[in-house]
């Protein structure tokens, strides 16, 4: 949190030796991780391996039992549920906790970016799932975070909406250049979006795949599925 950490140039977050346990049960075990500014990192791992736990620790939502998290500024979070306040209009939702002048104007700009610029004064209950998640994205990005944490934000959306969201997120991240940690269980989503794919197992980052310099995919689908313990040698007719 200290302002001097800005000198760790272009780092959105640096984690060293992070340990997180629920009682005696250690879920994250001396984990190291660095995400650069503007870097899009996807975190894969089978259900219950501790992805959400890691993300919550990075967001400062839970206490940690060991190690350091060095993240300049407050990270922004988009959860699997949109978590919009039903009693606030869309622009009020987007400007929640936003410091500085003219919150409505800045919220409006953020809503324009996610394609909802004409719904400033509408209520969240009038939105579809995908639209609500776009507002949540606007609420996160309007803060201009150094680190953007996404916990399966598209998991509850239908396939078409999900693909549209992928395009939108990629575009917004390219423009705002936050470091991104996207937690997902969707291998294709990770391949489509990430510069770097991490696979989590036994409380640590078990393996890591970088996109090649030509911007090609970070890893093959089969390879990732194998690492996640899914047999892919079944040939489907």
Partner 1 sequence: MDGRVSNVDYVIQQEYRAPTTPAPTRHTSAIAKPGVKPNLIVLSWITPVVLIVVWEALAQAGWLSPQVLPAPSKVLRTAWKLTLSGSLLNDLGVSLLRAAAGFAIGGSIGFILGTLVGFSRIAEALIDRSVQMIRAIPFLALVPLVIVWFGVGEGQKIFLVSLGVAFPIYINTTLGIRQIDPKLVELGRVQGLSTLQLIRRIILPGALPSILTGVRYSLATAWLALVVAETVGAQSGLGFLAMDAREFLRTDVIVLTIVIYALIGVAADSIARLLERKLLAWHPNYGKGARS
Contacts with Mg ion by CB under 5 A lie at 52
Among 15, 49, 71, 199, the residue binding ligand ADP under the rule CB under 6 A is 49
Cα-based distances in Å from 123 to 119, 127, 128, 135: 8, 8, 11, 11
Edge to edge, the sheet with strand 11-22 lists 25-36, 11-22, 66-70
- Closer residue to ligand ADP, CB minimum distance, 58 or 114: 58
Name which of Mg ion, ligand ADP, partner 1, none residue 174 binds, using a CB cut-off of 5 to 8 Å depending on partner kind.
none
Among 48, 87, 229, 233, the residue binding partner 1 under the rule CB under 8 A is 87
Binding mask 11-50 for partner 1 (x = CB under 8 A): ----------------------------------------
- Closer residue to ligand ADP, CB minimum distance, 46 or 70: 46
In this structure, the strands spanning 196-201 and 147-151 are unpaired
Name which of partner 1, Mg ion, ligand ADP, none residue 79 binds, using a CB cut-off of 5 to 8 Å depending on partner kind.
partner 1
- Closer residue to Mg ion, CB minimum distance, 52 or 89: 52
- Closer residue to ligand ADP, CB minimum distance, 3 or 48: 48
- Name the one range near ligand ADP by CB under 6 A: 6-14, 48-56, 171-179, 213-221: 48-56
Name which of ligand ADP, Mg ion, partner 1, none residue 97 binds, using a CB cut-off of 5 to 8 Å depending on partner kind.
partner 1
Of all residues in the shown chain, the one whose CB is closest to ligand ADP is 52
Is residue 20 involved in binding ligand ADP (CB under 6 A)? no
Is residue 229 involved in binding partner 1 (CB under 8 A)? no
- 203 Cβ contact list (under 8 Å, min separation 6): 26, 27, 28, 29, 30, 31, 49, 50
């Amino acid at each position: 949190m200290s302002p001097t950490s800005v000198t760790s140039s272009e780092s959105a977050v640096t984690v060293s030796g992070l340990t997180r346990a629920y009682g005696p049960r250690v879920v994250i075990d001396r984990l190291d991780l660095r995400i650069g500014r503007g870097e899009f990192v996807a975190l894969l791992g089978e259900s219950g391996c501790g992805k959400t736990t890691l993300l919550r620790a990075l967001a400062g939502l839970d206490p940690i039992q060991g190690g350091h998290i060095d993240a300049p500024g407050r990270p922004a979070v988009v959860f699997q549920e949109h978590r919009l306040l039903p009693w606030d209009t869309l622009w009020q939702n987007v400007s929640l906790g936003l410091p500085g002048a003219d919150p409505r104007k800045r919220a409006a700009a953020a809503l324009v970016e996610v394609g909802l610029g004409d719904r400033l004064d509408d209520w969240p209950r009038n939105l579809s799932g995908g639209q609500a998640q776009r507002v949540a994205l606007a609420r996160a990005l309007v803060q201009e975070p150094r680190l953007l944490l996404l916990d399966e934000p598209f998991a509850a959306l239908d396939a078409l909406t999900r693909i549209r969201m992928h395009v939108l997120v990629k575009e917004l991240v390219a423009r705002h250049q936050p470091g991104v940690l996207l937690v997902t269980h969707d291998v294709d989503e990770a391949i489509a979006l990430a510069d770097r794919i991490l696979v989590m197992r036994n409380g640590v980052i078990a393996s890591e795949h970088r996109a090649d310099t030509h911007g090609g995919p970070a890893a093959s689908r089969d390879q990732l599925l194998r690492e996640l313990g899914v047999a892919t040698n079944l040939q489907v007719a």
